[in-house]
Amino acid sequence: MRLREDEVRVGAIRSVVVSPVGGGPFPGVLLYTDIFQLTESTLRSARRLASYGFVVCVPEIYPHGELAGVALEFDEAGKARGLAGAAATPTARFDADRVVVLDYLQRRADVSSLLVTGFCIGGHLAFRAAFDERVSAAVCFYPTGLHDGVLGADVADSLARAGEIRGRLMVVFGSRDPHVPAQARLRTVEALYAAGLDDVELHVYRGGEHAFMRDVGARHDPVLTDLALAEAVSFFRGR
């Protein structure tokens, strides 16, 4: 499928939109990055997803401070800056930015419905985006901080609000993820079931490390990446 790629301003938020050329309308996907923002690695994931017939909007998650316009390097300095960006951002700011981006996607003539996904911190943000009743499905890839409320400058109430999710939910973990170990995964699933979300689709990929879908570095697993992406596309299509 032929794609077009545009950098746009969604309010104050620098974003990249990857969309199919011709046809449509298509489901619109709000895709949240990891702490490193709009890297080429994440954009490659967005292009892959768009090629299945989705309009994918990838916003910066730190668009208001010193990291606005910055794609961080995958090194210790970049990691430190990304974590500092998260620690400086209140949960309410993340939530407000989500509304702006979903409103933008909903207004597009080539978008038929709203979906969300994300990686790492972006997986957590995708979970919170699912609180919006307009979101019909969410896929959260190895979301960090769900089990303990770690997200930004305050303690997030994400799991406590799980009962607000009305759309379909899929959560993907790697079995060797030190940020979301087995006990953290268990706590998350127990909370989802307690909230009444007993039809959640859960995938735990054996041997998968944190960020196994990021196609840079030793933790990348191409086979698991392909499996996870195929499952996500099938899920979004309502299999």
What residues make up the domain containing 98? 3-236
Q: Is the pLDDT of residue 169 over 90?
A: yes
Q: Which of 191, 231, 189 is nearest to 208 (CA)?
A: 231
SS3 annotation, 104-173: HHHHCCCEEEEEEEEECHHHHHHHHHCCCCCEEEEEEECCCCCCCCECCCCECCCHHHHHHCCCEEEEEE
User: How many structural domains does the chain have?
Assistant: 1
Give 198's pLDDT tier (boundaries 50, 70, 90). confident
Across the range 94-99, mean pLDDT stands at: 98
The one catalytic residue among 124, 179, 203, 210: 210
Specify the CATH number for the domain of residue 67.
3.40.50.1820
Across the range 32-53, mean pLDDT stands at: 98
- The answer to whether residues 98 and 126 touch, using CB atoms and an 8 Å cutoff, is no
The one catalytic residue among 34, 97, 177, 221: 177
220 classed as catalytic: no
Average pLDDT along the chain: 97
Across the range 225-230, mean pLDDT stands at: 98
Q: Is the pLDDT of residue 239 over 90?
A: no
Q: Which of 150, 161, 163, 3 is nearest to 91 (CA)?
A: 150
140 classed as catalytic: no
The one catalytic residue among 34, 57, 97, 120: 120
Q: Which of 65, 74, 29 is nearest to 48 (CA)?
A: 29
CA torsion through residues 80, 85, 89, 93, sign: negative
